[in-house]
Amino acid sequence: MRINKYLAISILLNSLVSVQLFSQADSKASQIYEANWESLLTHEVPQWARDAKFGIYAHWGVYSVSGTWDYSKPNWGNAYITPYRGVYHHSEKNESRGLFEKQVGKPEDGYGYKDLAKQFKAEKFDPDYWAGLIEKSGAKYAGIAAMHHDGYAMWDSDVIDLCAGKLGPERDLLGEVFTALNARGLKTFTSFHHARTYKHYQGIIRKLKEQPIAAKVDLLDMNLDNYYWFAGDREIFEEKRYALTKEVINKYKPDAIWFDGGAGKFNTERVLADFFNMAEREGKQVTVHNKGNFPDNFGVFSYENGHQRPLYVSRTWEDDTPSAQMFFDWPWYKGIQYKKPRDVVVRLVDLVARNGGLLLSLNPRPDGTFDKGQEDLLIGIGEWLAQNGEAIYAAVPYKIYAEGHTERLEYHETNSKGKKTRAVQPDTRRLNWEDVRFTRKGNTLYATVLGVPPSGKVRIKSLSSQTVISTPDMIDRVELLGSGPVEWSRTRKALEIQLPKTLPNQWALVFKISVIGELDKSKPDVKTTRMKLPKKTN
């Protein structure tokens, strides 16, 4: 059968139009979210993010190289993670500037942050080893900071040259980490700190221009604008910041992100819409960690070192803290000391009981390896979670979430001049065997005792016969995770448990309590606070 050529052309044109209309409709369908809060607030935190409880990322980059310098002053006020402030400091007496001149060169001779970046080699970085160590820690999501305040991209960027793919390691560090994590079935996470980059460098540039050395300082050389992409006009910074963030979202498709600053400016709402729409196209469930810079009912709340966190937060949240001891210890440096596994485990138990979780930041060396103290910390946490994770993962708070120290356990770090940090919480040094934290999962109640009572007997006052646990208010069985069933009795004063002679650990003993009937699943009777809605992006 012959078809008239005009009819054939008509059919072809109609087909092409149909394909185009379908393509447009499909594209439009994938653009579900718009760059405004009315639209963005319809996005919900996925269940995996509610259940994960424990995540890991890393502060690692050019600033890690400056950790090899012989500072006479301790890390204070994020000094070690912002070495560029010293590199370009107006005073020759500034210690960081002096160390930079000794290790790299003088700014008046044209040496600058790009030259420090050349020393960041990551020559021993093994992403598979990283992923294996993270998996052993028990973390459910992980990654690295994609870009810190210094404006250096930890991936192979097509937008700028100040990046790991072109300057320093000449490797796609972020991409390699994500590939290794994905291979082990872990969710991926990255953070963006570059909303603060423009402000940081504008202050440095203003002071530099007042100095005699300004003529040769590389930061002021407009021919280097693809390295120092943040040193020009605000409009250029805003567009490049958007392009860089979108590049990470489209290229690596993370499961979770957060921003250090940036609410209400620098196209942040556009970025969030792009992130959510990418997830729709890919069939992914993603989330954003909310560092107090977005509406209070958006994403996963993120409290840096527990600062200003209420005793209980009704929405999904987490504390963000370094694995090193000090409040400011985000990057690695010589002589750094790490938290002990007990301290992190006890903190995690306390946070989960309050409806939260923990995001732990690693301190990799500039070559991509870890100190033994770092590895011991992760392995220790993982061993405890392997034994007791059922009381943590996917658990929710019991109607009574804490016994013992139920107040805010805040503390301050103090420098040699007596200056104090902002308040940090919780102070795990004050938590002991008198403290109990409660979670539940399904019809099972978990009571975690944060230490070992010297008497050999645990007394949980909150679970006395005067507290209604279930209908018909009866306990069937009590088991110590990692050990087995234990002897118990319940009086009007407490649930008393006899400890076995051999204990599974000394930090946090988890008792799995099975009830007869239906466990009381009432929510804690607590108040929470609100955060302010950020201004709209211009």
Q: Map out the domains of the chain as residue ranges.
A: 40-298, 400-519
**What's residue 4's pLDDT?**
45
Place of tokens 């070559």: 367
The encoded tokens of residue 152 equal 């250096």
What confidence score (pLDDT) does residue 97 get? 94
* CB contact at 8 A, 252 and 190: yes
Q: Where are the beta strands (DSSP E) in 297-407?
A: 300-304, 317-322, 358-362, 396-403
* CATH number, domain 400-519, options 3.30.70.260, 2.40.128.260, 2.60.40.1180, 3.90.79.10: 2.60.40.1180
Report the b/e string of 136-156 with b at 16+ CB within 10 A.
bbbbbbbbbbbbbbbbbbbbb
54 within 8 A of 391, measured Cβ to Cβ: no
b/e code 402-427 from CB counts within 10 Å (16+ = b) = bbbbeeebebeeeeeeeeebeebbbb
- Within 110-259, strands assigned E span 141-147, 187-192, 256-259
For residue range 182-240, what is the model confidence (pLDDT) as tens digits?
Answer: 999 999 999 999 999 999 999 999 999 988 778 899 999 999 999 999 999 999 999 99
Name which CATH class applies to 40-298: alpha beta
Q: Which residues of the chain have a pLDDT value below 70?
A: 1-30, 527-538
d(CA 536, CA 538): 6
- pTM: predicted TM-score of the whole model, two decimal places: 0.92
What is the model's pLDDT at position 509?
A: 98
Task: Report the pLDDT value the prediction gives residue 431, as an integer from 0 to 100.
Answer: 97
| pLDDT at site 525 | 84
